[in-house]
């Protein structure tokens, strides 16, 4: 199993990297880690996990679900 770090801005276009990873490792299952750089304000009412869970929009979530179904046997897990 390969672990692949996917940089994302939570746009649908950034999910193309998932397809590239699947094509690059055709014989292996893949564990995907979605990564984003974000500068937290000094004073915030949201925790980091709540902030990250609010960033992806519905279109991004839908496309990610579609990719997981399309490549379900190859993608073992997706974390963000």
Residue with tokens 């276009």: 13
Which of helix, strand or coil describes residue 66? helix
CB atoms within 10 A of CB 17: 17
- CA distance linking residue 4 with residue 62, whole number of Å: 21
DSSP state of 71: T
pLDDT at 76: 83
The pLDDT tens digits for 17-71 are 988 988 898 888 999 898 887 666 666 666 766 766 667 888 888 988 898 888 8
Cα-based distances in Å from 6 to 11, 46, 47, 80: 12, 24, 22, 9
């Amino acid at each position: 199993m390969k672990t692949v770090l996917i940089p994302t801005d939570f746009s649908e276009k950034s999910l193309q990297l998932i397809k590239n990873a699947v094509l690059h490792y055709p014989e292996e299952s893949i564990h995907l880690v979605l990564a984003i750089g974000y500068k937290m304000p000094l004073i915030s009412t949201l925790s980091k996990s709540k902030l990250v869970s609010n960033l992806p929009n519905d279109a991004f979530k839908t496309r990610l679900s579609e990719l997981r179904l399309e490549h379900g046997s190859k993608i073992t897990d997706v974390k963000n």
